[in-house]
Amino acid sequence: MQRGRGKAKVRRIYDAPDPDDGIRVLVDRLWPRGLSKDEARVDEWPKSVTPSTELRRWYHGPDGEYEEFCRRYEAELADPPAAEALDKLRALAAKGPLTLLTAARDPDRSHTSVLRRLL
């Protein structure tokens, strides 16, 4: 499954790599289960742009709500280490195709939609 507009697109990490992916960036904090690094073909893994463990747990818990998750995640991305890593992703996207990789079952309702919008 492939989503995207412009130079940044989102794909599930479990999908086979595509020649049009360009730079492949894993944007999950944890390495995906059952996938070797050779199979994944990840070029970058900037953990500082991933949602915090606390935010992920809140979102997947009983009180988690997508719009509030997006607001809280954007606030996390404003912190200096995350903002610096986000700027690096913007620079990579400006050079050519960039693919954000995630294990999320529904990338449209995950942090990847926020990242893609900010790029």
Task: Give every strand in the sheet of 98-102, ordered side by side.
Answer: 2-5, 8-12, 98-102, 23-26
pLDDT number for residue 1 = 39
**What six digits make up the tokens of 119?**
């790029």
pLDDT number for residue 31 = 96
pLDDT number for residue 48 = 96
Determine the average pLDDT of the residues in 10-36.
Answer: 95
Question: What is the SS3 string spanning 68-98?
Answer: HHHHHHHHHHCCHHHHHHHHHHHHHHHHCCE
Where are the domains positioned within the chain? 2-118
Confidence class of residue 5 from pLDDT cuts 50, 70 and 90? very low
**φ/ψ (deg, to 5) at 41:** 50, 60
Determine the average pLDDT of the residues in 50-79.
Answer: 95
Determine the average pLDDT of the residues in 86-107.
Answer: 94
pLDDT number for residue 7 = 73
Percent of residues, the chain, with pLDDT higher than 90: 90
Residue 114 pLDDT > 60: yes
Determine the average pLDDT of the residues in 6-35.
Answer: 92
Confidence class of residue 4 from pLDDT cuts 50, 70 and 90? very low
Residue 65 pLDDT > 90: yes
Does the reported pTM lie above 0.85? yes
